[in-house]
């Protein structure tokens, strides 16, 4: 799973580096009055100064509008700042430690990614949800189903524990860590029945 975790860590949630704050000094500074230092939201990325809210918007924009608690902290938010944005309605809790940014409009990818992030490190979308994401099923959107090395109970998400998940079992599909087609088929109770449904789509 090292490759998948590297992609997840290097993609949208990398922490910004806080810009240095310097106070003016000497007679010149005294004549101009006290210089107000930048607030705690200022970060410097690629030579550009950006607020934490802008960083959050950038991260969420690459993740179907979803962001995790850890990514909010990495963007420069404090727990109190997160709480205020929840109160204002700019952050919407979806699962514990996972939020939608700005709105809660129905979105399959956002729902699935939120479930994966909530399940924790090494989690992969699997089963019918993964098959639906890969357009291998023609039925209505199934609920999220996630497999991970450790199992968590998450409302509205079917979770499975699999300690022996290998790097080759997963990939990033549409920005969502998911099981490969082969592993997805194995996750079904009747893989042979699932293959029968897939043959028309695969042209076999």
Give me the residue spans of the domains in the chain. 108-202
pLDDT at 29: 39
Task: Locate 11 and state its tokens.
Answer: 């993609």
pLDDT at 42 over 60: no
CA distance 47 to 5: 27
CA distance 154 to 139: 24
pLDDT single digits (tens) 58-98: 999 999 999 999 999 999 999 999 999 999 999 999 999 99
Taking only Cα atoms into account, the Rg of the chain, rounded to an integer number of angstroms, comes to 21
Give the residue from 131, 58, 68, 125 showing the smallest Cα distance to 100: 68
Q: List the beta bridge partners of residue 101.
A: 91
Task: Locate 54 and state its tokens.
Answer: 């802008």
Contact 154, 111 (CB under 8 A): no
pLDDT at 33 over 60: no
CA distance 100 to 91: 6
pLDDT at 185: 81
């Amino acid at each position: 799973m090292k490759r998948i975790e590297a992609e997840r860590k290097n993609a949208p949630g990398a922490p910004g580096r806080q810009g240095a704050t310097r106070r003016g000094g000497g007679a010149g500074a005294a004549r101009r009055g006290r210089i107000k230092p930048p607030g705690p939201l200022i970060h410097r990325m690629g030579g550009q100064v950006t607020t934490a809210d802008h960083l959050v918007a950038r991260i969420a924009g690459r993740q179907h509008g979803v962001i995790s608690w850890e990514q909010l902290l990495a963007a420069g938010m404090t727990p109190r700042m997160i709480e205020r944005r929840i109160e204002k309605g700019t952050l919407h809790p979806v699962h514990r430690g996972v939020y939608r940014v700005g709105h809660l409009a129905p979105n399959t990818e956002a729902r699935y990614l939120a479930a994966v992030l909530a399940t924790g490190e090494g989690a992969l979308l699997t089963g019918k949800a993964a098959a639906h994401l890969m357009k291998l099923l023609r039925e209505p959107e199934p609920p999220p189903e996630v497999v991970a090395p450790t199992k968590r109970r998450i409302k509205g998400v079917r979770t499975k524990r699999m300690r022996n998940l290998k790097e080759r079992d997963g990939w990033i599909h549409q920005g969502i860590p998911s099981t490969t087609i082969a592993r997805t088929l194995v996750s079904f109770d009747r893989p042979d029945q699932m293959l029968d449904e897939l043959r028309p789509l695969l042209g076999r």
